[in-house]
Amino acid sequence: MLTYEAKARVFSGTQPTGIPTLGNYVGAYSNWLKMQDDYECLFCVVDMHSLTVRNDAAELRKNAKSLLALYLAVGFNPEKCILYFQSHVPEHAQLSWVLNCYTYMGELSRMTQFKDKSAKHSENINAGLFTYPVLMAADILLFNAEYVPIGDDQKQHVEITRDIAERFNNVYGDVFTVPKPLISELGARIMSLSDPKKKMSKSDDAGDYISMLDAPDVIISKFKRAVTDSEREVRFDPAAKPGVSNLLTIYSVMTNKTIKDSERDFEGKGYGDFKIAVGETVASKLKPIQDEYNRITADKIYLESISKSGAEKARKIAMKTYGKVARKVGLVQF
């Protein structure tokens, strides 16, 4: 049974828009895993956020279940944290509407993600895309999370969440916990294999990123083609050697070594050996996760029980928060 006395609360989630990448694992999941014993954690499949772009319904459901299975496969323990689908907790959407009424158009129009996605999906610039940060704020504030583990490119979303919380609290008193970002220094941002100045993303060409479910030979092949530079020295220097530095970061996180120790591992060795070693290390690390993922996805009853149990636990917290908000703003209680 979950008991969380005197533990700070953490909330985070991932969109089920495809198989997570190595960047998701290194930058997010491996860090979240370390939090299970020290924090009260809620890790969500944020399927409602995925609706800002057009999806095939069957594919979205498949991806959502696949992501929950990966959460379990990487080691998230449902006895230590709450795992659930965002859409199974209706208070996410309810609180989002209330917070929309306490968020300004100017704030939303300045959000970098809205600008980027509008450029990518110019044929579908919808209201959900514009108010996406408010739903994200609702995700966090619904559980009064004290910390939000994020990559450095997500700081803007936590900042607007803090602004909304403080604005609401200034009107109605101490309702929401104002969250703080938790940003990992190492591995917080894994870059594309073909363009090491750009974050690794599953929306890029398949050869540019490592999927968590890529076969070992595919992983090694992708690393062999990874962009480096015209030198031969394996040295960490993000400005002058972004490709090599990206691979060193991946190797360091996967082996739990420091960057300096990782550099020493490849002293006197060329980029060919270096790339193969990184690929083999990643493939070896992901193989047991893939095996566990295959086992879990074959047990549909177990996966359903985890999602149901997680939603029930999340709703107990969410209903309490939303009930307080509803009273404060004057809604008639059900």
Q: What are phi and psi of 199, to 5 degrees?
A: -65, 140
- CA–CA distances in Å: residue 327 to residues 42, 127, 320, 321, 324: 25, 27, 11, 10, 5
Q: Within its chain, how far is the Cα of 187 from the centroid?
A: 13
Active site residue 300: no
DSSP state of 80: T
Residues 199, 222, 241, 275: which is the catalytic one?
199
**Using CA atoms, how far apart are residues 241 and 231, in angstroms rounded to an integer?**
9
User: Parallel, antiparallel, or unpaired: how do β-strands 147-150 and 81-85 relate?
Assistant: unpaired
Residues 117, 222, 241, 313: which is the catalytic one?
117
Per the CB < 8 A criterion, the answer to whether 248 and 236 are in contact is yes
Q: Which residue has the tokens 């490592």?
A: 210
Active site residue 199: yes
Burial class (CB in 10 A: 0-12, 13-18, 19+), 320: middle
Active site residue 324: no
Residues 202, 222, 241, 275: which is the catalytic one?
202
List Cβ neighbours of 254 (8 Å cut-off, separation of 6 or more). 26, 278, 281, 282, 285
**Using CA atoms, how far apart are residues 125 and 32, in angstroms rounded to an integer?**
32
CB atoms within 10 A of CB 127: 9
**Using CA atoms, how far apart are residues 13 and 43, in angstroms rounded to an integer?**
5
Per the CB < 8 A criterion, the answer to whether 26 and 190 are in contact is yes
* Sign for the pseudo-dihedral over CA of 173, 105, 315, 141: negative
Q: Which residues are catalytic?
A: 117, 199, 202
